[in-house]
Amino acid sequence: MSTGESSEIGVSGTSREKGKLFLRLFLENERRLYAYILTLVANRADADDLLQDTSLVMWDKFDEGQPPRDFVAWGCRIAYFKVLDFYKKAGRSRVQFSQAMLEHISDTALEQSGSLQLDERRVALAGCIEKLSERNRDLLERRYSDGATTQSVAVQLGRSIDAVYKALAKVRQALFDCVTRSLARGKLT
């Protein structure tokens, strides 16, 4: 709010208009923002918290006189910085992607954000990743961390390159099958 506006809810017509416009835009795009956040954290509880934090920042920064041209891209950018803060606070307590990898995932997700089907696939993929064993999640995170190669992962794990390739192929196939089943169930309901 500017310094001249009242801080009481409902006092200003401008505040009411801001609320209506923001709420409409947010509700139209909430699933896409949530799916985007899930691509970066892959844990629904964390994604729920991050969406709430993101929405608060979006509300604070929203200007109905000059709304963002691309509400989703604007919201995703705010979410991206919230995710960075989340990982910074989590520190070494979790296996995490590097900032470069998060940027790559973020850019890829934003490029593909125009399709609802892709959003549904991302949500399904995040759920399927959660269902993986800790060992398989660790394998994926190691392989797709910044600068990692299959060879470097094999060295880290003390396994042969061929064994790592085979393990990754099995995990990818399991994820593909899980996403396919999840999407099929969603269409049947």
**69 versus 121: which is more confidently predicted?**
69
Chain segment 8-64, per-residue pLDDT in tens: 434 345 667 767 888 888 888 888 888 888 888 867 888 899 999 999 999 989 887
> Has residue 160 got a pLDDT over 90?
yes
Structure-model confidence comparison of residues 156 and 126, the more confident one? 156
Q: What pLDDT is recorded for position 143?
A: 84
Percent of the chain topping pLDDT 70: 73
126 Cβ contact list (under 8 Å, min separation 6): 35, 38, 39, 42, 43, 44, 47
Q: pTM score, two decimals?
A: 0.48
* Residue 129 vs residue 94, higher pLDDT: 129
Residue 169 three-state SS: helix
Bigger pLDDT: 74 or 121? 74
pLDDT of residue 10: 41
Q: In CATH, what number does 132-189 get?
A: 1.10.10
- The fold adopted by the segment(s) 12-114 is Rna Polymerase Sigma Factor; Chain: A (1.10.1740)
Looking at residue 4, the DSSP 8-state letter turns out to be T
pLDDT tens digits for 146-156?
Answer: 777 888 999 99
Helix axes 13-41, 99-111, angle to 10 degrees: 120
Is 176 in contact with 128 (CB distance < 8 Å)? Answer: no
Question: Of all helices (H) and strands (E), which one includes residue 146?
Answer: none
The domain segmentation of the chain, as residue ranges, is: 12-114, 132-189
Q: Rounded to whole angstroms, what are the CA distances from 184 to 15, 18, 81, 118?
A: 43, 39, 33, 14
